[in-house]
Amino acid sequence: MHPTRDHSLPPDPEAVRRAPHAHGRIIVIAPTRAACETIELALGLHLDTLLEREHGDELREWAGAGKGFGIVAGTGVGKTLGIRPIAEAILQEPLRVGVVNREREATPETPTWNVVIVTTGIARRWFEDDLIFPRDTLVVDEIHQTSAELELCLALGKRVGCRFIWLSATVDPSFYARYLNSSEVLETKAFDPALRAKVEVKVQTPEEFLDEKYLKRVIRERRGVAVFVPTRKEVEQLAADIGGKYSRLTAAFYHGGEPIRVIRPFLEGEVERPFLLTMTAAGQSALNVRGLDTVVIYDARYANRVDRGRNVLHRLYLGANEILQMAGRVHGRVPDGEVTILSDRDLDFATLQPTPPEFQLAGDAERVAVTCAALGVDASELDLPVPLDRIAYRRALRTLTACSCPERWPAAARRAGVAADNRRQPRRRPGPTARPRPRGGSRPPDRRLRPSGSARARGRSRARA
């Protein structure tokens, strides 16, 4: 039997701990695999951006001084491109960049990288194996895209003692500045009016809007179009229908279940216009598609809401943050951009303001216990973004460990101080006194399947009624 290893970890973890990084490493935490590719491409570019022209010297000074800070700036000003000069100011040596995610595994060269781009799940895994150190700097791109993994990574980074640099276009900076102990926050409204997109709101579905007249215009004007819809099925169906009808229009789709090679030709500018790319929210931020000048947004999303301790799926409208991010693929980035929002609400794009993040681990102790136990983390030891009700958490954790649970749950319970003997003992195998099953496969009579006397009485009373 061949030995197996976790491909998210370097083959020799000790080589990471021995690596001579005098100024530590830059660990860039990205929300998606597609964002990892965008950041990797950006780190290889030297472009003049609005953020660099107006605040470049200030950001390099903060980075070199060892300060933790945040950047809140509109889409298209160069936040992602700004990671490179920040990293150079911190490391003071040439950048050696690598990516680790679900598709790109860690290699023997990983310990030599001084800039490592990872998704939230990989970052959490590295924290668990003590592969992120106090001297490392965590750069959190698109910090507004909250998830259970990201919230755990923020708390684990605080426990280790890392410095945080965080970036966002749609977040109220006051919370993260306080929570991550940021010495400075750069909040800028810098915007190039020449790159302002034309925004319209229409009461239509994507199928109604993407009619023959509109698509012929896209082909005639050679436009690059991104269409955001809420589900993977809708993404695939739209691309298949449009691609089958219009041979002169390159139609493709991307969602979180697709390999990154699907989107990379668009990121590298290899796909010529006209094209139409349908996407879920996986492409709403940190995704810079070259040649894109038109965005169509369907105002719908699906989200879980805790109802009496249960997660219930609801269809909701998009939040202001999501709309701003999706529109930001062209608004403020390219000239003659167009944004169309398909909604039955009365929306005014110009007045949309960022809203506070919706934290995934907040509000429900049972969900916190289930999530953290499944990840092998004790939440009571962490400073989560939202204060944890520790009494309710321990109660929920005892309930979990008293049931038939995965093997990692008892370990998390022991770290939380829950007695191991609270777990239910495994079922005893049938002994010699067990009632044998009759031959022929028929089920033996079971008195528990018959209604009790009181149940029969209730049945008769209902029948009389």
Question: Cα-flanking dihedrals φ and ψ of residue 158, to 5°?
Answer: -65, -40
- What is the bridge-based pairing of β-strands 294-298 and 115-119? unpaired
Helical (H) or strand (E) element with 174: helix 173-179
Rounded to an integer, what is the distance from CA 387 to the centroid of its chain? 21
Query: What are the domain boundaries of the chain?
Result: 13-188, 193-351, 365-422
Beta bridge pairs of residue 303 = 314
**Predicted local confidence at residue 364, as pLDDT:** 65
User: In this structure, which topology does domain 13-188 adopt according to CATH?
Assistant: Rossmann fold (3.40.50)
**Do residues 35 and 147 lie in contact, with contact meaning Cβ atoms separated by under 8 Å?**
no
DSSP H helix total and E strand total for the chain: 16, 15
**Predicted local confidence at residue 414, as pLDDT:** 47
**d(C-alpha 77, C-alpha 53), whole Å:** 10
**d(C-alpha 95, C-alpha 88), whole Å:** 7
String of DSSP letters for 380-398:
GGS--SS---HHHHHHHHH
pLDDT (tens, 9 = 90+) of the chain, 465 residues, equals: 455 678 889 999 999 999 989 999 999 999 888 889 889 988 988 888 888 988 999 999 999 999 999 998 877 788 889 999 999 999 999 999 999 998 899 999 999 999 999 999 899 889 988 899 999 999 999 898 888 889 889 998 998 999 999 998 877 788 899 999 999 999 887 777 888 899 999 999 999 999 999 999 999 999 999 999 999 999 999 999 999 999 999 999 988 888 888 888 888 888 999 999 999 887 776 567 889 999 999 999 987 776 666 667 888 899 888 898 899 888 888 899 999 999 999 999 988 887 777 776 655 677 677 767 766 677 777 888 887 777 888 888 888 777 644 554 444 444 444 433 343 444 444 444 444 444 544 444 444 444 444 444 555 554 454
pLDDT tens readout for residues 239-268: 999 999 999 999 999 888 888 888 888 888
Pick from 81, 57, 80, 66: which is nearest to 24 by CA?
A: 66
**d(C-alpha 332, C-alpha 52), whole Å:** 16
**Domain 193-351: which CATH class?**
alpha beta
**Do residues 170 and 74 lie in contact, with contact meaning Cβ atoms separated by under 8 Å?**
no
**Predicted local confidence at residue 286, as pLDDT:** 57
pLDDT tens readout for residues 122-172: 998 899 888 999 999 999 998 988 888 898 899 989 989 999 999 988 777
**Predicted local confidence at residue 410, as pLDDT:** 45
Question: Cα-flanking dihedrals φ and ψ of residue 451, to 5°?
Answer: -65, 145
**Do residues 251 and 279 lie in contact, with contact meaning Cβ atoms separated by under 8 Å?**
no
Q: Where are the alpha helices (DSSP H) in 180-263?
A: 206-209, 212-221, 232-245
Spell out where 300-399 has E strands. 301-307, 310-316, 338-342
Pick from 214, 203, 207, 210: which is nearest to 234 by CA?
A: 207
Q: Give SS3 for 305.
A: strand
Fold match flag (13-188 vs 193-351): yes
Q: Is the bond leading into 274 cis (omega within 30 degrees of zero)?
A: yes
- What is the bridge-based pairing of β-strands 115-119 and 26-30? parallel
SS3 content of the chain, % helix, strand, coil (to 5): 40, 15, 45
**Distance (Å) of CA 265 to CA 203, 252, 269, 314:** 33, 11, 6, 34
**Predicted local confidence at residue 342, as pLDDT:** 95
